[in-house]
Amino acid sequence: MFAPSPLRLGAALCGALLLSACANHLPQRSEHEERVERKLLDHHLVIETGEPRILELPQRRIRVIDQKTFEVTEYEVTRRYDRYTPYQPWRELYEIPLGAVAIVAGVAANLVNIVALGNLPDSVTHGWFGYGIDGLNPFMNVQSNGRSQQNLARIEEKQLDQRTEHTSLPWAERPVLVKAGKETHELSTDHNGILRLNLLDSPFADQDVGRIGTLQLSVEDPQDNVRAEATLAVSRTLRGKLREAHDLIYEDLEDDDVEQWVHRVKRLAELGLEEEASELEQSLIELTRNDPELQQEFLQTLLRDAGRLAADPGPTDSPPAAP
């Protein structure tokens, strides 16, 4: 066996010292923030069908509300970080000479501090000594905020408040299933959570609405499978009106004369369907817009035979007048 040479022992010792060189630790840093946790306690949907629960008119505004109850907890979160200056051996080439200078400067500062009766700041008297000792240590770099690194040491949480919150929001622009007879239609609410139901409008206009006795409405939130249902009955009187009103509204208008047009409007009003009568009236005015003579005949006959005073409101999208 060969005895290890002093050169090899010295190299191994230096290597071990370099590997064991430690980082220069800096003051700990903390971050503070507030965190809010919301825990869902209760969730249900409400369908407000309005009164009466039996439809006597073909139109109804239905409101859908999304109600939730939360447990809200507020926390103050503190994250504490251990900071240090990582060791880089090559920096010792300039830190050791500077450290020696700093020791001398520290001694001089302390002598001056004696004359100044201890009025010099600690950053001068002790700071130079601290820098010099770190600089002279070949296995530790001088503290440096510019190249410091950090590790998360611990997280501390403190509960600040806990309360219960209730929300009641519109079921905005969400689907509503409406089962009418054997057919099921998917309608949608508006941004206010309102479903405008009209049995004389699509998609019900394509059915035999006179056979629809009940409307079953349902909504469901797929996130947690919360569901709500409601039922609206259609009165026998309304079902009889719907058959006749459907024909009055949807049969071809262009094949009829002015007298028949007026009859349709007048009959809808007699059935108590004033809103539908007004809509048909405006449709006929729009239909005759390009024939002023025919439009005037319709308006005069409407006033004479039905007692309804109407006028052409003019184009709805006409450009503004030039200044």
Condensed to tens digits (0 to 9), the pLDDT of residues 8-66 reads 544 444 444 444 457 778 888 899 999 999 999 999 999 999 988 899 999 999 999 99
Instruction: Please compute the mean of the pLDDT values over residues 142-169 and round it to a whole number.
Output: 90
Helical residues (DSSP H) of 117-226, grouped into ranges: 122-136
- pLDDT of 321 above 50: no
DSSP code for 141 = P
At 202 the pLDDT is 85
Q: What is the pLDDT of residues 69-115, one digit of tens each?
A: 999 999 999 999 999 888 878 877 877 888 788 888 877 877 777 77
Q: Distance between CA 76 and CA 58 in Å, rounded? A: 56
Contact 97, 131 (CB under 8 A): no
**Banded pLDDT at 123 (limits 50, 70, 90):** low
Q: Helix (H) and strand (E) counts for the chain?
A: 7, 9
Q: What do you get for the CA distance between the two ends of the chain, in Å?
A: 111
Q: What is the pLDDT of residues 204-238, one digit of tens each?
A: 877 877 788 899 999 999 999 999 999 999 999 99
Helical residues (DSSP H) of the chain, grouped into ranges: 6-19, 92-115, 122-136, 236-250, 258-270, 274-287, 292-306
Q: Distance between CA 10 and CA 311 in Å, rounded? A: 110
- pLDDT of 116 above 80: no
Backbone angles phi, psi at 10, to 5 degrees: -65, -40
Q: Burial of 128 by CB count in 10 Å (0-12 exposed, 13-18 middle, 19+ buried)?
A: buried
What one-character-per-residue DSSP string does 182-204 give? TEEEEEE--TTSEEEEETTSTTG
At 49 the pLDDT is 93
Q: Mean pLDDT for the chain? A: 83
Q: Distance between CA 267 and CA 245 in Å, rounded? A: 8
**Banded pLDDT at 191 (limits 50, 70, 90):** very high
Amino acid present at 259? E
- Candidates 220, 222, 239; CA nearest to 230 is 220
Residues in the chain: 323
At 139 the pLDDT is 82
Q: Distance between CA 23 and CA 264 in Å, rounded? A: 94
Percent share of the chain, pLDDT over 70:
87
- pLDDT of 239 above 60: yes
Q: Where is pLDDT greater, at 267 or 119?
A: 267
- pLDDT of 201 above 90: no
Q: Distance between CA 216 and CA 228 in Å, rounded? A: 11
- Tokens 């003051």 belong to residue: 27
At 146 the pLDDT is 80
Provide the whole-model pTM: 0.65
Cβ neighbours, 10 Å, residue 224: 10
- Candidates 84, 82, 86; CA nearest to 29 is 82
**Banded pLDDT at 315 (limits 50, 70, 90):** low
CA angle centred on 161, ends 156 and 166, rounded to 5° = 130
